[in-house]
Amino acid sequence: MRSKSLLVLASAAALAVWAGVPQAQAQANGKITGRILFKGVVPEPMKIRMTADPRCQTANPNGAERRQIDGKNGGLVNVIVSIKTKVKGTFPPLTTPVLLDQQGCMYTPAVIGLMVGQPLKMRNSDETLHNIHPRPVVNEGFNVGQPRKGMETEKKFDKPETFFPVSCDVHPWMRSYIAVFDHPFFTTTKEDGSFEIPNVPPGEYEIEAQHPTLKLMTGKVVVKAGAAGNVELTYTLK
């Protein structure tokens, strides 16, 4: 099933919510699979100079780069795919923290999906000062400094919101993006653009795909009990 509507991380942690689902109920559900693709000329990666911080430069002696569009075999990575249609039921927050690491003076991963109330664990893996400064519109923002390697801090967001940036005021090239959902039906595309959202109740759904630098894409998919509904969306770059 194809759609020309445009889309963009499933968080692997989204799978954990179903660990306690009774087997009979899990068998009655299906899943959504697919790929997010791109066609056209891919922009050149942005070169990043880290000479302002000698420790960052030491970690990246040849410099670093940020790719706006990245993936393999025509697939698009760093796209968060989620169900937009209201899914019946109550979904308690996931308890497994999602890690935002600061490593090599870059944020990893580039995009993060998590549930309302799910912990976001922020770690400094570098021998230099970092700060984590999300800039949400709906949720309450914060600015946490981590001057020492190995420091960790956890925070939560209490409202659904997509997408908002996370930056480091010390190193302005560092950037990640966060999406917060009130349900567990979201995931992030792999390097080949593929994705899977498991344990979806049967029904017809509208899905959204969000990428940090590309516009929103939407598509429709039908999920049947014990089967996979497949959707493929393509960004055309001119």
| Model confidence pLDDT, tens digit, residues 174-211 | 999 999 999 999 999 999 999 999 999 999 999 999 99
Element (H, E) at 203: strand 203-210
pLDDT tier for residue 12 given thresholds of 50, 70 and 90: very low
Separation of alpha carbons 105 and 233, rounded Å: 33
Q: Which residue has the higher pLDDT, 195 or 68?
A: 195
Q: Which amino acid is at 22?
A: P
| pLDDT tens readout for residues 74-85 | 899 999 999 999
* Domain architecture of the chain: domains with CATH: 2-237 (2.60.40.420)
Q: Which amino acid is at 220?
A: K
Average pLDDT, the chain: 86
Is the distance from CB of 198 to CB of 13 less than 8 angstroms? no
| pLDDT tens readout for residues 17-45 | 443 444 445 558 999 999 999 888 878 88
Residue with tokens 């049967």: 202
pLDDT > 80? residue 3: no
Contacts of 166 (CB under 8 A, 6+ apart): 100, 107, 132, 133, 134, 135, 175, 176, 177, 178
| pLDDT tens readout for residues 76-130 | 999 999 999 999 888 998 999 999 999 999 999 999 999 999 999 999 999 999 9
Separation of alpha carbons 185 and 115, rounded Å: 9
